């Protein structure tokens, strides 16, 4: 290390100290600041060393532990040659060089240690969405000085409280046309291998609900020691992890998750991560705005965090499913049901089944009941057409005490979005208003429309997204709700099915399903900037005709 005299000279020199910019989220959302997440209690001051670049140019490296930043300064008398990185961006340091392919590191088979060189492995934003890794070699004057810096930084990174320490990675070996394991090995594992203090266990799922059952039956000491669950597969595998963790947490806390009227469920102590290796990968595409595997791995490794809403589905006072994505009924539900017969086609099966379902043109008659969020500024009474006769709720003297509004109609689509729902088919998002963790559900209701109109409707969703579609298509009625229910009319031979996070949920013929929002119930390994500020309506649709309500 430099002597005290040299350190005193450096401290008297004027240099730039960069304070990390705090992230900003949507309204009523708790934000964990970068500086507080990465701060190491009891550590302060500056660590300074004079070093060289591999080209023998003299530099000075300063570790500002008050603000958790690294400054790399070229000693040529110019204040312009200064590079600053946050501690959040430092994945690790190594004493050996890494092979890096397009920003993705490769685990070395036989690392070759350098004598005096310390390699700083920083993650950086390659473009608007994607993150990659780059390596900065720093040559110290002595090996002992290099080892001191390496040990100190390694210890510091292990003590950063937001970074995961113990995670389980579930891989669906059949996900991504059987390429899920290769995706993990080639694009993900090296980031975890490089992260100091991170222990990870890989499990291959062998059957449906294998991951959920494993989590529920996990020994208490193993469960408490975990701080992350990661899925490498599609939205269905993530749903297994989500369901298992929530069931386990509520059972341990003595909460009745079966009761749809339960207002406060307990948040699991672990965070969730997804490496998208399925067909749609809508959850990871929404949280990160990309399905890039390396980007997902980076945010897991450095411990990025955002809070996400969850919706529970109940029947007969019993929990049947949990969703953190989108729930759709009618045409979209029938497309998924039909596509199950053509899984061998891969993602193309959805286009094929969409054509088949459009020809069949399913219409379902039923009653939707809902209660609005306090963020909703539209009165459904001013918009919705009258109920079809006979309406069971309209015939009741006091209506329904559980919900504030209802609509009995023939539906082409009933869609509920927990998150904006970005997919390859809806790149601009399916939801008109809801964000990530904003405490609302978007309930979209589309009454009976023609085949041609439905084709135009779906084309506009893909081209413009839900927000612009709401302004373009008068048939779409959308409200921000906190709970709702649906019950089909009993005289229909086929009650239809639901597309819940890419998995089929059968609709009971004579019973309603109840849907309940739980705001910010889970934490996700997702970038803070992914928090989408809730969208406000640019205009309000007028009522199409008179309507009778309870």
Distant-in-sequence, close-in-space partners of 63: CB < 8 Å, separation ≥ 6: 46, 47, 48, 69, 70, 153
Distant-in-sequence, close-in-space partners of 282: CB < 8 Å, separation ≥ 6: 235, 325, 326, 421, 422, 423, 502
Alpha carbon distance 236, 419 (integer Å): 16
Annotation marks residue 501 as catalytic: no
Compute the residue count for the chain. 550
Strand pairing class (228-233; 166-171): parallel
> Which is nearest to 33 in space by CA: 89, 84, 83, 88?
88
| 8 Å CB contact between 272 and 282 | no
| 8 Å CB contact between 190 and 155 | no
> Which is nearest to 246 in space by CA: 262, 226, 220, 268?
268
Q: Tokens 């069971």, residue?
A: 392
Give Cα 167 to chain centroid, integer Å: 17
| 8 Å CB contact between 370 and 393 | no
Alpha carbon distance 33, 299 (integer Å): 16
Alpha carbon distance 340, 409 (integer Å): 28
- Alpha helices per DSSP H over 235-347: 235-253, 282-288, 293-302, 331-339
> Which is nearest to 353 in space by CA: 364, 368, 341?
341
Single out the catalytic residue among 64, 235, 338, 501: 235
Residues with a known catalytic role: 235
């Amino acid at each position: 290390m430099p002597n005290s005299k040299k350190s005193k000279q450096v401290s008297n020199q004027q240099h730039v100290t960069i304070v990390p910019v705090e992230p900003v989220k949507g309204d009523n959302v708790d934000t964990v600041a970068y500086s507080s997440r990465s701060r190491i209690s009891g550590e302060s001051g500056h660590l300074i060393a004079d070093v060289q670049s591999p080209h023998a140019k003299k530099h000075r490296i300063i570790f500002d532990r008050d603000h958790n930043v690294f400054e790399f300064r070229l000693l040529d008398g110019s204040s312009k040659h200064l590079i600053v990185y946050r501690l959040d961006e430092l994945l690790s340091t190594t004493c050996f060089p890494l092979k890096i392919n397009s920003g993705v590191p490769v685990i070395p088979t036989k690392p070759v240690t350098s004598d005096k060189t310390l390699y700083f492995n920083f993650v950086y934003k390659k473009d608007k969405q994607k993150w990659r890794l780059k390596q900065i070699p720093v040559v110290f004057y002595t090996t002992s000085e290099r080892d001191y810096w390496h040990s100190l930084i390694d210890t510091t990174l292990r003590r950063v409280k937001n970074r995961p320490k113990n995670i389980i990675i579930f891989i669906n070996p059949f996900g991504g046309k059987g390429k899920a394991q290769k995706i993990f090995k080639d694009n993900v594992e090296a980031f975890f291998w490089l992260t100091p203090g991170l222990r990870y266990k890989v499990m291959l799922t062998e059957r449906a609900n294998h991951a959920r059952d494993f989590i529920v039956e996990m020994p208490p000491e193993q469960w408490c020691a975990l701080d992350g669950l990661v899925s490498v597969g599609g939205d269905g595998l993530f749903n297994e992890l989500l369901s298992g963790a929530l069931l386990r947490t509520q059972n341990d806390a003595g909460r009745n998750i079966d009761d749809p009227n339960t207002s406060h469920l307990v948040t699991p102590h672990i965070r969730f991560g997804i490496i998208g290796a399925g067909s749609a990968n809508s959850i990871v595409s929404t949280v990160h705005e990309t399905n890039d595997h390396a980007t997902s791995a980076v945010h897991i490794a450095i411990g990025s965090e955002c809070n996400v809403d969850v919706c529970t589905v109940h029947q007969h006072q019993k929990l049947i499913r949990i969703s953190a994505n989108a729930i759709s009924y009618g045409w979209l539900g029938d497309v998924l049901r039909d596509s199950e017969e053509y899984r061998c086609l891969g993602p193309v099966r959805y286009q094929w089944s969409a054509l088949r379902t459009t020809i069949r043109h399913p219409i379902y008659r039923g009653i939707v009941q809902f209660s609005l969020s306090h963020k909703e500024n539209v009165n459904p009474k001013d918009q919705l057409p009258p109920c079809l006769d006979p309406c069971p709720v309209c015939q009741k003297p006091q209506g329904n005490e559980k919900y504030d509004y209802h609509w009995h109609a023939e539906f082409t689509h009933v869609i509920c979005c927990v998150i904006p729902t970005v997919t390859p088919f809806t790149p601009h998002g399916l939801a008109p208003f809801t964000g990530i963790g904003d405490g609302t559900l978007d309930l979209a209701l589309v009454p009976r429309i023609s085949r041609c109109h439905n084709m135009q409707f779906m084309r506009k969703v893909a081209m413009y997204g839900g927000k612009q579609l709401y302004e373009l298509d008068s048939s779409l009625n959308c409200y921000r709700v906190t709970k709702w229910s649906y019950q089909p009319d009993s005289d229909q031979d086929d009650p239809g099915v639901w597309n819940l996070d890419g998995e089929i949920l059968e609709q009971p013929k004579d019973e309603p399903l109840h849907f309940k929002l739980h705001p910010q119930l889970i934490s996700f390994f997702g970038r803070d900037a992914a928090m989408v500020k809730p969208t406000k309506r640019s205009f309000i649709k007028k009522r199409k005709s008179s309507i009778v309500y309870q």
